[in-house]
Structure 1
């Protein structure tokens, strides 16, 4: 039986996808001491599997913001295995049983897996004996098996899991996990693309309140896919900007890392922030921000819209600089500092100063300064008559760039 030709058995429910599983013919030997020459000792350790956040429809998303650090052994399982069968399917076990190390000379061999991998690992062992996977429509379980098959280098199981995942409907959790598949998995690019399509479709109206908690746990690749395909019209630009900043605050507590992600990956997708770049130096509780606005962007954006800078942070609170033209009742150019939507208002006094670099000295000249309360809900800043800003001989543009420097200092309320 073991030496005969392998028979082809169609995977349940997947004939339309052209998928077939191979019956390896060794199922009789699984956990059978008579046909086993090794005892596989499985140490299951605690790694704190990432928590799930339940959406309105009960589907979960991995919370990538939390993992436990414990590696304590929770339990030990033993399985009787055939070294020949496992080595034939897995290069990992081939090396374990034949590389001349201490483990290869002993009847008992030990592997260590995470508690979140336990069910998938047992499925993988069975697969190596019978060439089949337990029928399931749970895409998250298939991702688990796919990941463990990659870890133990079982190529035939990787291929089969990938085929099934492509054929099955995705869930928010499985889609998120497919975005992070290692490139060593043959079909990782196809699965990643399918996950992006699923997420962009599911969150087509991503600004709806019901999606906000769920979206905070979607990784960067998913957010970029959603924004790239689903940006609403100009009337929602402020809401998109606020959403992007909230997501970055949640995912990247480190301000420097957050700034890099926003500048390189997210803000270029949001039209209204494409026209302003910034270089930020932060000295809590005061900070200095340098911004650059190109003449072509100013001319092209006004008077129909406004420009927003990437967010900056002072005393732990987010702000952004906005530039826009106001036509009524006067024709003027406005530079305003506004607070990013976050967890609350700071109580105290905020001193600010807005400067512009001017010709011919190329030094920064104070345009406006003053105090305000951080509890205010409106923006604060200064205005300049539009005819003084935009002409070719304007003292404010240097090499067709407007250089703005903002100083902020927050004095908490006692």
Structure 2
């Protein structure tokens, strides 16, 4: 069916050419992507690591395509002259085929096939960007603005590559839709859905709904879980959290910055100032930015609870697919030796509901030998132990 459709389109395009002298042959190699390491077609028309599905030859008007696209202008004016091949060759992914054929129709007619599918319009928009057909990109943007906004279209529009110019009205409509949809974004019914929302959408949700949130702690927990899900690279995740997300929650941000972190591997050092700890009395708390050890995400929280100093290590993950044992150790630096001493050790499974941490009477902590030059130094060791069968 696809082959007959392509042949019909080829005949249609060729019949609309004003002169035979402008006719050219455009050959499309359709392939199935394997990944980022897939190779392009080489001079002998073979593919290394990327399987060819089929090759299609279309008769096109080079003048029409060159007039609409700098890409095709260069292809027909330079590429064919510098090659012994009498056909211009394009390599497109199999998933791009439908959008590419729609792009060719647009370049001949100046019109897009009527559709209410935002996915198809976004696909055409991306192909038009790839082949530098600016007029088609503008029309796709206008069509998308005219469609009723849905979760699918909002996510698609906000998750486009930064190189593609998206109309400001479309971006604002998508952000407004998401902010309105997720007024109660901390509700459990939205948690799985929100993990698929891209960064601009999450920022719009937080910016719009933050004043109405009762618990800053819950917002912070959500932000950590979302960042952990979307950004597996720790450096990228830390940058996104510090520059984009945490500034949207000022109260949480001020708490987070109170703890300085050094993370060489699975030994994490924390430093708190005496005045910061003193302000926790009688019922305050501080939380650290997220950190990753032994294949899991964690954060540290320090509390003053019922006149006790409480230190907790908590996991980011709510659902851990593999249950395994983790060794925890907490050390405090002490005067006068200025060496770390072990205050807590435990082995627990990642799926355990048990709280990991230690506590001490508040007065013994705040007035004890743990502050050196006005700073409290603690060290956390987290290591993977034996897998629990």
Q: TM-score, normalised by structure 2?
A: 0.76
Structure-1 residue corresponding to 2:153:
174
Stretch moving more, 146-155 or 290-299: 290-299
Match of 1:369 among 319, 344, 347: 344
Shift of residue 152, structure 1, vs aligned partner = 1.0
Q: Distance in 1 between matches of 2:100 and 2:180?
A: 32
Give the superposition deviation at 1:148. 1.1
| Whole-angstrom distance in 1 between the partners of 2:193 and 2:84 | 50
**Among candidates 72, 94, 112, match of residue 133 of structure 1:** 112
> How much has 1:267 moved relative to structure 2?
4.4
Q: Structure 2 residue aligned with 1:201, among 150, 171, 180?
A: 180
Question: What is the distance in 1 between the residues matched to 2:372 and 2:200?
Answer: 37
Q: How far apart, in 1, do the equivalents of 2:147 and 2:67 lie?
A: 29
CA distance in 2 between counterparts of 1:113 and 1:262 reads: 36
- How many angstroms apart in 2 are the aligned matches of 1:403 and 1:233? 36
Among candidates 313, 331, 349, match of residue 337 of structure 1:
313
- Once the two structures are TM-superposed, the CA of residue 149 in structure 1 deviates from its matched residue by 1.1
Of 8, 12, 26, the match for 1:40: 26
- Residue 161 (structure 1) aligns with: 140
* Compared CA separation, residues 400 and 147, structure 1 to 2 (3 A): farther
Contact 1:267 1:274 (C-alpha < 8 Å) held by counterparts: no
| 1-structure distance, mates of 2:216, 2:173 | 27
Which runs of no fewer than 5 residues in structure 1 stay unpaired? 1-27, 50-68
- Is the aligned partner of 1:88 residue 2:67? yes
Paired residue for 1:109, among 65, 88, 100? Answer: 88
1: CA distance between counterparts of 2:177 and 2:206? 13
Deviations 1:70-129 (A, max 9, x none): 632222223221111111111111111112643688653221211221111111111111
**Partner of 2:199 in structure 1?**
220
Name the SS of the counterpart of 1:119 in structure 2.
helix
Structure 1 pair 278–156 and aligned structure 2 pair: CA distance change class (3 A):
same
Q: Which moved more, 1:143-152 or 1:186-195?
A: 186-195
CA separation of 1:294 and 1:235: change in aligned 2, threshold 3 A: farther
| SS of the residue 1:99 aligns to | helix
Q: Describe how 1:18-57 pairs up with structure 2 within 5 A.
A: 30-32=13-15, 35=18, 37-47=23-33
CA–CA separation in structure 2 for the residues paired with 1:158 and 1:260: 31
Contact 2:328/2:345 (CA < 8 Å) preserved in 1? yes
Which residue does the alignment assign to 2:377? 403
**How far apart are the structure 2 equivalents of 1:378 and 1:123?**
57
Higher mean displacement: 155-164 or 256-265: 256-265
Shift of 1:243: 3.2
What's the CA shift for 1:347?
A: 5.3
**8 Å CA contact 2:79, 2:88 repeated in 1:** no
The 8 Å contact of residues 354 and 404 in structure 1, kept in 2 or not, is answered as: yes
Residue from 85, 97, 100 that aligns with 1:118: 97
Partner of 2:262: 279
Q: Which runs of 5+ in 2 are unaligned?
A: 1-10, 36-47
1:289–1:406: 8 Å Cα contact kept in structure 2?
A: yes
- Is 1:378 aligned with 2:354? yes
**2:331 equivalent to 1:354:** yes
Q: What are the residue-to-residue correspondences of 1:245-324 with 2, within 5 Å? A: 245-255=224-234, 257-270=236-249, 271=252, 273-282=256-265, 287-294=266-273, 297-298=276-277, 302-324=281-303
Summarize the Cα distance change of 1:230–1:117 in structure 2 as closer, same or farther, 3 Å threshold: same
Answer whether contact 1:338 1:378 (CA < 8 A) is retained: no
TM-score (norm 1): 0.72
SS at match of 1:322: strand
Q: Deviations over 1:208-236 (max 9, x none)?
A: 33333332233333333333333476754
| Structure with the larger RCO, 1 or 2 (CA within 8 Å, 6+ apart) | 1
Distance (Å, rounded) in 2 between the aligned partners of 1:220 and 1:115? 28
Distance in 2 (alpha carbons) for counterparts of 1:191 and 1:302: 48
Distance 2:324 2:216 in 1: 28
